[in-house]
Amino acid sequence: MSVRIAPSILSADFAALGDAVRSAERGGADAIHVDVMDGHFVPNLTVGPPVVRALKRVAQVPLDVHLMIEAPDRYLNVFAAAGADALSVHVEASPHLHRTLAAIKALGMRAGVALNPSTSVTAIEEVAGDVDLVIVMSVNPGFGGQQFIPRSLEKVRATRALLARAGNPAPITVDGGVDGTNAAALVASGAALLVAGSAIFSQDDPEAATRALRAAADAATTKESA
């Protein structure tokens, strides 16, 4: 299956989010990635359920909501009601991860777990059979436009192996510093969904940038099948 692209609206013009979503979709975006930050788990504040609700009115593709917040259990139902299709929590912020994942699914959303760069893949070993997606953070979460951490490629491979041992085909998402220079290597390592903020919305033409990122990522698939 071709790699999927999820533009992150974090780098978009917040005064024109509808336009941002539409241009990404014209470029072939498969999902819209929404970064929720609470100023505690990460040193930044962004958006919450009202913005997810507004995006839901304009987006044709699913909304992947990435919670970078402490005690995410308090807000699962609110994000479900706002229209999140997938909801990811951080393993570092979720002491009862098994219960949290079950609660997300019970609300009708796909349940994801995200790992900070310094968190070992083994942190999710016991829930490897329960996750619908895993987000491998390739920057320390909190801000767009940071530099990709090269070690993340190995982390993606380790995550792929862990999920394979659990017999779980859940897609691996990579988030942070993703662009045309690392997309193919990420896909070759086992990434199925690439999140990109600045590589898409800090460009003059987000539609073309979405297409270009997919083309760069697909180079890995083409090479493999050749």
The correct pick among 12, 31, 32, 66 for binding Zn ion (CB under 5 A) is 66
The 10 Å Cβ neighbour count of residue 96 is 10
33 is a site residue for ligand DX5 (CB under 6 A) = yes
Judged by DSSP in three states, 77 sits in: helix
The correct pick among 17, 59, 196, 209 for binding ligand DX5 (CB under 6 A) is 196
**What are the catalytic residues?**
35, 175
Contact 101, 130 (CB under 8 A): yes
Closer to ligand DX5 by Cβ: residue 10 or 69: 10
Q: What does the angle CA 17 – CA 55 – CA 152 come to, to the nearest 5 degrees?
A: 80
Q: What are phi and psi of 223, to 5 degrees?
A: -65, -40
Q: Which does 186 bind (CB under 5 to 8 A by kind): Zn ion, ligand DX5, none?
A: none
Closer to ligand DX5 by Cβ: residue 40 or 98: 40
Closer to ligand DX5 by Cβ: residue 104 or 209: 209
Q: What does the angle CA 216 – CA 24 – CA 200 come to, to the nearest 5 degrees?
A: 55
The correct pick among 122, 145, 150, 222 for binding ligand DX5 (CB under 6 A) is 145
Which run of H or of E encompasses 183?
Answer: helix 183-189
The correct pick among 48, 171, 176, 190 for binding ligand DX5 (CB under 6 A) is 176
